[in-house]
Amino acid sequence: MERFATLLFALVFIAACSSRGSEGGEESSKADKYKVETKPTDDGKGIGEVTYVELNSPLDAQMVEHGKSIYELKCAACHKLDDQRVVGPGWKGLTEIRKPEWLMNMITNVDIMLAEDPTAQELLKECLVRMPNQNMTIEDARDIVEFMYANDGQEIGS
């Protein structure tokens, strides 16, 4: 009986040791060294709550006008309507190189964009000045984007 108990104890001990290796012991830590972290691919939409923008064609005249008034109040000191960089980049042609979702996320989520979005980080290196958080609403940002499209020559409706 004593032999049986010793044999049973040995079997339980061996089983416990072998299962520990596969559940988180040395084998598991070796495998963790070879895991590859994958970052989400850059879809050109930036980082923020805006994931889809339905563009107007022709542009909405009221949205363009409201976007223009916000631009004049909050944006014109740093951004010109041509391609000239003052503090921030000029706006001419932005709608041709940036998706509307990216533009809106940059306007409404600037701190996270500058911290995590590669395109925004490159612009920061180029301009050397952080864009301030203007506390824009999604609706205001959408009107600004409509104005940006008008600035790039898109047709405005009546």
Q: Please write the tens of the pLDDT for every residue from 13-52.
A: 565 555 444 444 455 555 555 555 555 568 999 999 999 9
Q: What per-residue string of b and e applies to 81-104 under the rule 16 or more CB within 10 Å gives b?
A: beeeeeebbebbebbeebbbbbbb
How many DSSP H helices and E strands does the chain contain?
8, 0
Q: Residue 30's pLDDT is what?
A: 52
pLDDT over 70 (residue 103):
yes
Answer for the pair 109, 49: CB distance below 8 angstroms, yes or no.
Answer: yes
Q: Residue 12's pLDDT is what?
A: 53
Cα separation, 96 vs 84, whole angstroms: 16
Domain 61-151 -> CATH class: mainly alpha
Q: Say what the pTM is.
A: 0.74
Q: Please write the tens of the pLDDT for every residue from 118-127.
A: 999 999 999 9
Closest CA to 88 of 66, 103, 100, 67: 103
